């Protein structure tokens, strides 16, 4: 069993991005700039946004945070997104999810200028990605694809099973891995809460991806010997033995599953850091696009 070290891979890729950012600054006299919009006090969202700002700094990009209380109205939030859309200094814009219940996340996403939608959540980008056209691919699927490439894990003709059909991970990932060409060409099965005989389907997988958000869900009896297992889950579970009172847990029962795998990602330190790198890559891509 080989552990896929997402943290180290992300560190390596960030070095390459930093070089490209330095080139960009030399050529165009300004830094690529990512704006994050954060509504409310959700601790996980606050951590994610803080990390994104830290990543930007590390590779030489600018970042700004637009922070609002969860009492913000739909009109105020849309107005903020439009202001960022119109700001020529800002290349990429993300609205951190989830949003409070009184706000319709889809409506807000659809107000983002697709050329600044570095999360790849806007229907224009999702549609273009499905068609295999140049687009912003959402960060987690892109990060997983990069991780498979970095570890030279072949995808062509492989059976790939994804558990979880979210708009952010499962659905785009199924599309990405079944695209024609390098990094794709998988035979993909997308499973969800209504899937029958899930265990049996999972045992078919050469590449098994758990993205359902249920800690420890994937057990050893669901994994074929020698499979590649990618754990997208990252849940906070109570743990009285830690200082914070919680720990981060993936969707895979790591202790049970790891011995059966050829490769496996840990949580934390697997997919998470790669997601953050994808956002940086998309922001640089947006900045280059805006220059042109
Ligand atoms: N919440 C959880 N993951 C993400 C993400 O990739 N982007 C945004 N905007 N919000 C999220």
What mean pLDDT comes out for the span 33-40? 98
Rounded to the nearest whole angstrom, what is the distance from the C-alpha of residue 96 to the centroid of ligand 1? 5
**Which residue's CA lies nearest to atom 3 of ligand 1?**
97
Domain boundaries along the sequence of the chain: 29-113, 139-271
What mean pLDDT comes out for the span 17-41? 98
Q: CATH assignment of 29-113, given 3.30.450.20, 3.40.50.10860, 3.10.20.310, 3.40.50.620?
A: 3.40.50.10860
Q: Say what the pLDDT of residue 37 is.
A: 98
**Which residue's CA lies nearest to atom 1 of ligand 1?**
97
User: Residue 111: CB partners within 8 Å, gap ≥ 6?
Assistant: 78, 81, 82, 85
Which ligand 1 atom sits nearest the alpha carbon of residue 168? 6
CA-to-CA distance for 105 and 80, rounded, in angstroms?
A: 14
Q: Do domains 29-113 and 139-271 have the same CATH topology?
A: yes
Instruction: Tell me: pLDDT of 68 over 90.
Output: yes
Q: Is 38 in the pocket of ligand 1 (CB under 6 A)?
A: no
Tokens 């949003």 correspond to 99
CA-to-CA distance for 240 and 218, rounded, in angstroms?
A: 24
Look up 16 and say whether it is catalytic.
no
pLDDT, tens digit, 9 for 90 and up, residues 230-256: 999 999 999 999 999 999 999 999 999
CA-to-CA distance for 133 and 146, rounded, in angstroms?
A: 18
Q: Say what the pLDDT of residue 242 is.
A: 95
Rounded to the nearest whole angstrom, what is the distance from the C-alpha of residue 97 to the centroid of ligand 1? 5
User: Residue 266: CB partners within 8 Å, gap ≥ 6?
Assistant: 3, 4, 6, 231, 250, 254
What mean pLDDT comes out for the span 130-154? 98
Q: Is 278 in the pocket of ligand 1 (CB under 6 A)?
A: no
Q: Torsion-angle region of residue 49: left (phi > 0), alpha (psi -120 to 50) or beta?
A: alpha
Q: Is 139 in the pocket of ligand 1 (CB under 6 A)?
A: yes
Look up 96 and say whether it is catalytic.
yes
pLDDT, tens digit, 9 for 90 and up, residues 161-189: 999 999 999 999 999 999 999 999 999 99
What mean pLDDT comes out for the span 254-262? 98
pTM of structure: 0.96
Q: Is 222 in the pocket of ligand 1 (CB under 6 A)?
A: no
Instruction: Say which CATH architecture domain 139-271 belongs to.
Output: 3-Layer(aba) Sandwich (3.40)
Q: Torsion-angle region of residue 197: left (phi > 0), alpha (psi -120 to 50) or beta?
A: left
Q: Which of 70, 57, 61, 119 is nearest to 90 (CA)?
A: 61
Average pLDDT, the chain: 97
What mean pLDDT comes out for the span 83-95? 98
Instruction: Tell me: pLDDT of 270 over 90.
Output: yes
**Which residue's CA lies nearest to atom 4 of ligand 1?**
97
Q: Is 63 in the pocket of ligand 1 (CB under 6 A)?
A: no
- 91, 96, 171, 206: the active-site residue: 96
What mean pLDDT comes out for the span 117-145? 98
**Which residue's CA lies nearest to atom 9 of ligand 1?**
96
* 292 pLDDT tier (thresholds 50, 70, 90): confident
Instruction: Tell me: pLDDT of 38 over 90.
Output: yes
Q: Say what the pLDDT of residue 271 is.
A: 98
Look up 87 and say whether it is catalytic.
no
CA-to-CA distance for 9 and 148, rounded, in angstroms?
A: 11
Q: Say what the pLDDT of residue 182 is.
A: 97
**Which residue's CA lies nearest to atom 11 of ligand 1?**
97
């Amino acid at each position: 069993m080989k552990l896929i070290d997402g943290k180290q891979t992300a560190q390596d890729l960030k070095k390459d991005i930093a070089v490209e950012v330095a080139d960009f600054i030399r050529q165009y006299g300004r830094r690529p700039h990512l704006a994050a919009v954060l509504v409310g006090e959700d601790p996980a969202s606050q951590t994610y946004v803080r990390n994104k700002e830290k990543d930007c700094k590390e590779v030489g990009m600018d970042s700004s945070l637009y922070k609002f209380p969860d009492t913000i109205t739909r009109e105020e939030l849309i107005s903020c997104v439009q202001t960022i859309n119109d700001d020529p200094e800002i290349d990429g814009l993300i609205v951190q999810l989830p949003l409070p219940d009184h706000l319709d996340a889809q409506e807000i996403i659809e107000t983002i200028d697709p050329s600044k939608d570095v999360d790849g959540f806007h229907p224009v980008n999702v549609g273009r990605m499905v068609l295999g056209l140049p687009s912003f691919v959402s960060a987690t699927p892109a990060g997983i694809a990069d991780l498979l490439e970095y570890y030279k894990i072949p995808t062509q003709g492989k059976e790939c099973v994804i558990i979880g059909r979210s708009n952010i991970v499962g659905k785009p990932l199924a599309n990405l891995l079944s695209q024609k060409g390098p990094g794709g060409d998988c035979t993909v099965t997308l499973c969800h809460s209504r899937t029958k005989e899930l265990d049996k389907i999972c045992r078919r997988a050469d590449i098994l991806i758990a993205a359902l958000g249920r800690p420890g869900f994937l057990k050893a009896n669901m994994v074929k010997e020698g499979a590649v297992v990618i754990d997208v889950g990252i849940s906070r579970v109570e743990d009285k033995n830690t200082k914070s009172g919680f720990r981060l847990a993936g969707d895979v029962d790591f202790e049970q599953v790891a011995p059966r795998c050829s490769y496996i990602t840990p949580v934390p330190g697997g997919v998470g850091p790669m997601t953050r790198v994808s956002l940086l890559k998309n922001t640089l891509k947006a900045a280059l696009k805006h220059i042109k």
